[in-house]
Chains A and B, each alone.
Chain A
Amino acid sequence: MPVVLENLGKRFGSGAPVLDDVNATIEQGEFVALLGASGCGKSTLLNIMAGLEAPTSGALEVPSDGAAFMFQDSALFPWLTARENIELALKLRGVGKSDRRVRAGELLDLVHLGGAGDKRPHELSGGMRQRVALARSLAQDRQLLLMDEPFAALDAITRDLLHDELERIWKETGRTIVFVTHNVREAVRLGQRVLLLSSRPGRVVQEWHVSEEHRTDAGLAGQLTGEITARLREEIRRHAK
């Protein structure tokens, strides 16, 4: 099991806890959508899983080699071309020079950017940048891929396409993906399982399984989306005084 979270808690300084008693288990090769309103500690939870922050209580089990991470904005390095960005990830992993070039080319092809390898980030559109960022996180070659609202800043057309793209890549590479989002549709579209995180403190309050039928039957998917949205709103309403 790549990820186990047990009674995980996090507070910053002496403030109110951001995460409290988070419990979740994520299976190898699973695609889990972590859903919650803004300010529910989704990103904090992801950062803890990535090892960027330490939890203040509880325990977590993640793969010993760490996790790959994809940020909301592509966070590509502007002084490197698309290919060099991917090569840097390989280099920091200790891949040799000739292998790097070959592997970076393969990854660019995987995200359908074979012809754009020599462009710099500012010459790419938002969707292309996110695909380079995806290729870079795949270059890390970790079983676990953490994604922090990676498509939130994209236009709807591009986002729909990248959903298809991500699903394809997930199936081709067999990664375990934890995908943070505040978009119910996106969670239902992508996740095999949707975990709803409550706000202040963040805690897993409910989970839904999304079957293969939901992928092709928009009616079923719509129904589930409605159900999850209702539960999410209930959670938000609790904070109205």
Chain B
Amino acid sequence: MPSNQLPVAEAPVETRKVHAALTRSSSGKEDLRELEAGLDSLQSDSIRKARIDWSRILLPVAALAVLVILWQLYVSLGFKRRDIVPGPLDVLGQIGTLWGEGKLQEAVWTSLQRGVVGFLISVVIATPVGLLLAQVAPLRRAFGPLISGLQVLPSVAWVPAAILWFGLTDATVYFVVFMGAIPSIINGLISGVDQIPPQYRSVGKVLGASRLQLALQIILPAALPGYLGGLKQGWAFSWRSLMAAEIIAVGGTIGFGLGSMLDQGRVLSDMTIVMSAILLILAVGILIELLVFAPIEKRLLRRRGLLAGSTR
């Protein structure tokens, strides 16, 4: 009940009938501070300590084991010739041989280096372009459909053109990677910007942000979840485009990558090399996702309180 600072002559009984919210409901500054502190602790969740969840590690390993066992089982049944469908042990043996020759390390290193460098350059090009397209309506209307179209166009389609323009050099490989990654990063950033609550812009304007400050300090961080989605897709497109380019463009001054190894397996009709290359390409993709993108994404979403109740 209100404890009045100015005593009033009227009967206090009368006063108590009326809703308390009409008058001051706390007495003095200290009382208010205490009340608020009490309410704050009642309304806040206690922090839960994160523990290592073993099911995160054991479940994927178990799933992998099941798939490998099924594969071995199929091979043991002997429907197909062993040189056409090699078993997991044959492939493992081939991977060991390739490792011993140093070819495996060379191929993984060459491809990974190209993929990462190509992807990073794509990010540097695509980010300002995406931000500009998302913020300037006439540019968006003019180039938006083209960028979406480029994302649908398989970047392998650029390989013949790139070979004619740049010959069998690394420039060909990088060009194809750019054409794969840049449009999807731009699109991811644009859709991230589109999903920003309009109020953030109002807040930015009210706080007196200039156009550049609005873009860099409010729009870009607000769009980060969508942007990260675009980056993930951009990486996937870089990696895929790179493999396609390496399979088609072999020789010249182009170094020996995983795609080249795959093509070499085909030329030699050695299915174990083909399978080894496929598994290595897959493994690199999984490792990049697990070691780079998943931790960043998880941290990003958790900091914004978006992870609760998800199956991640």
* Residues in chain A within 8 A of chain B (CB atoms): 50-52, 66-69, 71, 73, 75, 77-80, 88-89, 91-93, 112-113, 116, 120-128, 131, 140, 156-161, 163-165, 167-168, 185-186, 188-189, 212-219, 221-222, 225
Contact = CB atoms under 8 A, between A and B. Distances in A.
A75 B32 contact: no
Contacts of B204: 92
B203 A125 contact: no
Classify the secondary structure of B's interface with A: helix
Contact of B39 (A157, A186, A221): A157
Contacts of A222: 18-19, 22
Given A120-B303, A216-B4, A127 B213 contact: no
A93 B205 CA distance: 12
Contacts of B213: 92
B121 interface: no
B153 interface: no
Interface of B: 2, 4-6, 8, 10, 14-16, 18-26, 29, 32-33, 35-37, 39-40, 43-45, 197, 199-200, 202-209, 213, 217-218, 221-222, 224, 303-305
Given A93-B208, A116-B40, A127-B43, A216 B305 contact: no
A168 B16 CA distance: 23
B2 A73 contact: no
Contacts of A50: 206
A189 B22 CA distance: 5
B304 A213 contact: no
B203 A75 contact: yes
A125 B20 contact: no
Contacts of B16: 218
B25 A122 contact: no
Nearest to B204: A92
B228 to A, nearest CB: 12
Nearest to B2: A218
A128 B203 contact: no
Contacts of B23: 189, 214-218, 221
Contacts of B8: 213, 216-217
Given A78-B304, A212-B6, A92 B21 contact: no
Contact of A164 (B24, B40, B202, B303): B24
Nearest to A188: B22
A185 B8 CA distance: 21
A71 B2 contact: no
Contacts of A185: 19, 21-22
Given A125-B43, A217-B10, A161 B36 contact: yes
Contacts of A52: 202, 205-206
Given A52-B206, A69-B203, A121-B305, 19 more contacts: A67-B206, A71-B199, A73-B199, A75-B199, A77-B221, A79-B224, A79-B303, A92-B208, A116-B40, A120-B303, A120-B304, A158-B39, A185-B22, A189-B21, A216-B23, A218-B15, A218-B16, A219-B10, A221-B18
29 contacts: A52-B206, A66-B208, A68-B206, A69-B202, A75-B197, A75-B199, A77-B221, A78-B303, A78-B304, A79-B222, A79-B303, A79-B304, A92-B208, A92-B209, A112-B33, A123-B45, A127-B36, A127-B43, A131-B36, A140-B206, A161-B36, A164-B25, A212-B6, A215-B24, A217-B4, A217-B15, A218-B2, A219-B15, A221-B22
